[in-house]
C-alpha cells in the first residue's frame, strides 16, 4: 500500500490553499478547478453529496490528469462512498467529522484522508488513527484563537482551516497556526482566487 503519511505535506505544505468546489454543475466545477490550478492553489476538493457531485468529481479528475494535478473528494461520510470516489480517481478523501470506518476505508483504497475536527477529543481521535492532517471545521466559528490553543497539546498536527474562510481572513488563520486553509463559497469571486493565490 502507498505510504500516505506525507501526502498532504506534499500537496498543501508548499501551497497552503485548497479549493472546495461544492454544489456546482460539472462544467463550472472544472472551470473553477482550472482557475485554481492556474493560480497555483495546492489542491482541489470536490464534495460528493449527490450524483451531480460524483459527476463533477469524475470530470475534474479527468481535467486534473491532463495537467498532472490531484483531485480529492469531499463530504465522504461512508466506506461505500470511499470506494465510489476511489473508482472515480480521487487521490484523497475529506470528511466533515472523524470516523474510523471512513479513515480505514480510505487507507484500504490507497487514499489519503483528511478528517473533520472541532474539539480536542476529535483531534486526539484523529491522531490515534495515525492521521496528521485534519480539517478544522467550521473554522470561522472556532476562530483563530482555537488554532493557537490547539498548537499546545497537538504541536505535530497540521490543521486545515475550513468553513467561512475568504481572502480577507485566510492570513489570520495561517498566522494563528493553521497549516493551510480551504476555501469554498468565497471562490465564486474570481478576484478572490488571485488574492488567495498570493498566500501560496
Ligand atoms: O466543507 C466545507 C465547506 O464546503 C466550505 O465552507 P465555505 O463555503 O464556507 O468555504
Annotated catalytic, 45? yes
Provide CATH code, domain 2-197: 3.20.20.70
Instruction: Give CA–CA dist 197/200, Å, rounded.
Output: 5
pLDDT at 149: 98
Q: Model confidence over 103-149: pLDDT tens digits? A: 999 999 999 999 999 999 999 999 999 999 999 999 999 999 999 99
- Determine the average pLDDT of the residues in 157-186: 95
Best mutation site among 73, 134, 139, 184 for ligand 1 pocket (most ligand atoms within 8 Å of CB): 184
Nearest CA to ligand 1 atom 6: 163
> Interface pTM (ipTM) of the complex?
0.93
162 lines ligand 1 (CB under 6 A): yes
b/e string for 144-163 if b means 16 or more Cβ within 10 A?
A: bebbeebeeebeebbbbbbb
* pTM exceeds 0.90: yes
Question: Catalytic residue among 31, 34, 135, 188, which?
Answer: 135
* Predicted local confidence at residue 97, as pLDDT: 98
pLDDT tens, residue by residue, 27-55: 999 999 999 999 888 799 999 999 999 99
Quote the pLDDT of residue 190. Answer: 66
Q: Domain limits of the chain?
A: 2-197
Whether the predicted pLDDT of 198 surpasses 90: no
User: pLDDT tier at 181 (50, 70, 90 boundaries)?
Assistant: very high
- Looking up cell 472523524 gives 98
Amino acid at each position: 500500500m502507498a505510504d500516505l503519511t506525507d501526502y498532504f505535506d506534499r500537496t498543501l505544505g508548499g501551497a497552503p490553499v485548497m479549493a472546495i468546489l461544492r454544489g456546482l454543475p460539472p462544467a463550472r466545477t472544472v472551470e473553477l478547478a482550472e482557475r485554481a490550478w492556474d493560480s497555483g492553489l495546492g489542491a482541489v476538493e470536490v464534495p460528493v453529496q449527490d450524483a451531480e457531485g460524483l459527476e463533477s468529481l469524475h470530470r475534474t479528475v479527468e481535467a486534473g490528469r491532463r495537467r498532472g494535478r490531484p483531485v480529492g473528494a469531499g463530504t465522504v461520510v461512508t466506506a461505500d462512498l470511499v470506494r465510489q470516489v476511489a473508482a472515480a480517481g480521487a487521490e484523497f478523501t475529506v470528511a466533515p467529522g472523524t470516523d474510523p470506518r471512513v479513515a480505514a476505508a480510505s487507507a484500504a483504497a490507497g487514499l489519503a484522508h483528511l478528517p473533520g475536527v472541532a474539539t480536542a477529543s476529535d483531534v486526539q481521535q484523529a491522531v490515534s488513527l495515525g492521521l496528521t492532517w485534519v480539517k478544522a471545521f467550521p473554522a470561522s466559528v472556532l476562530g483563530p484563537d482555537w488554532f493557537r490553543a490547539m498548537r499546545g497539546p497537538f504541536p505535530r498536527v497540521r490543521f486545515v482551516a475550513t468553513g467561512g474562510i475568504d481572502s480577507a481572513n485566510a492570513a489570520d488563520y495561517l498566522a494563528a497556526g493553521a497549516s493551510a486553509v480551504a476555501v469554498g463559497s468565497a471562490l465564486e469571486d474570481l478576484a478572490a482566487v488571485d488574492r488567495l493565490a498570493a498566500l501560496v
